[in-house]
Amino acid sequence: MITALVRQNLTRLSFKNSSSLCEPHHVVFSLSLLPFSTSGERKPVFDSPVYEFLLHKHDFSPEAASRVASVASIALANLERSIKPKIKIFQDLGFPANDISEIISNDPWILRRSVNNILIPSLSALRSLLGSYADVAKFLKTAGCFLRSNLDNNLVPNVELLKNCGVAVKQIILIMNHFPRLLLCKPEVMKTYVDKVDKMGVDRSSRMFIHGVRTIGSMSYKTLELKFRTFRELGFSEGDIAAAFRNAPLVFCRSEEKLKGVKEVLLATGKYNESCVVNYPASLMYSIEKRYKPRLQVLEMLESKNMIQCWPKVSTLCIMSNKRFYEKFIGPYLDEVGDVCMTKSALSGTRKVKVKN
In a domain, 33, yes or no: no
> Does residue 275 share a domain with residue 240?
yes
Task: Report the pLDDT value the prediction gives residue 31, as an integer from 0 to 100.
Answer: 28
Residue after which a domain boundary falls, among 230, 255, 284: 284
Task: Report the pLDDT value the prediction gives residue 107, as an integer from 0 to 100.
Answer: 82
Which residues are within 8 A (CB) of 192 and not within 5 positions of it... i.e. 6 or more apart?
Answer: 11, 13
> Does residue 290 share a domain with residue 262?
no
Residue after which a domain boundary falls, among 284, 299, 323: 284
Kindly report the number of other CB atoms within 10 A of residue 298's CB atom.
21
Helix, coil or strand: residue 44: coil
d(CA 342, CA 331) in angstroms, rounded, equals: 8
Q: What's this model's pTM, rounded to 2 decimal places?
A: 0.73
Residue after which a domain boundary falls, among 284, 308, 339: 284
In a domain, 302, yes or no: yes
In a domain, 214, yes or no: no
Q: Say if residue 227 is exposed, middle or buried (CB neighbours under 10 Å; 0-12, 13-18, 19+).
A: buried
Which residues are within 8 A (CB) of 337 and not within 5 positions of it... i.e. 6 or more apart?
Answer: 301, 302, 305, 307, 330, 353, 355, 356
Task: Report the pLDDT value the prediction gives residue 47, as an integer from 0 to 100.
Answer: 54
In a domain, 60, yes or no: no
Cβ distance 136 to 130 under 8 Å? yes
Q: Say if residue 149 is exposed, middle or buried (CB neighbours under 10 Å; 0-12, 13-18, 19+).
A: middle
> Does residue 270 share a domain with residue 290?
no
The count of structural domains within the chain is 2
In a domain, 194, yes or no: no
> Does residue 231 share a domain with residue 274?
yes
Distances (CA, A) of 343 to 59, 291, 329, 352: 45, 13, 12, 10
Task: Report the pLDDT value the prediction gives residue 109, as an integer from 0 to 100.
Answer: 82
| Segments forming the whole domain that contains residue 278 | 221-284
In a domain, 291, yes or no: yes
d(CA 343, CA 341) in angstroms, rounded, equals: 6
In a domain, 335, yes or no: yes
> Does residue 332 share a domain with residue 291?
yes
> Does residue 225 share a domain with residue 280?
yes
> Does residue 292 share a domain with residue 275?
no
Total residues found in the chain within this entry: 357
In a domain, 307, yes or no: yes
Which H helix or E strand runs over 267? Answer: helix 256-268
**How confident is the prediction along the chain (357 residues), in pLDDT tens digits per residue?**
444 444 444 433 333 333 333 333 333 333 233 333 333 344 555 456 666 666 656 557 676 666 665 554 855 556 777 778 888 999 999 999 889 888 888 888 888 889 999 999 999 999 999 999 999 999 998 888 899 999 999 999 999 999 999 999 999 999 998 998 899 999 999 999 999 999 999 999 999 999 999 999 999 989 999 999 999 999 999 999 999 999 999 999 999 999 999 999 999 999 999 999 999 999 999 999 999 998 998 899 889 889 888 999 999 999 999 889 888 888 888 777 654 444 444 555 444 444 443
Query: DSSP per residue over 338-354, as a string?
Result: -SS---HHHHTTSS---
d(CA 194, CA 216) in angstroms, rounded, equals: 9
> Does residue 333 share a domain with residue 313?
yes
> Does residue 318 share a domain with residue 302?
yes
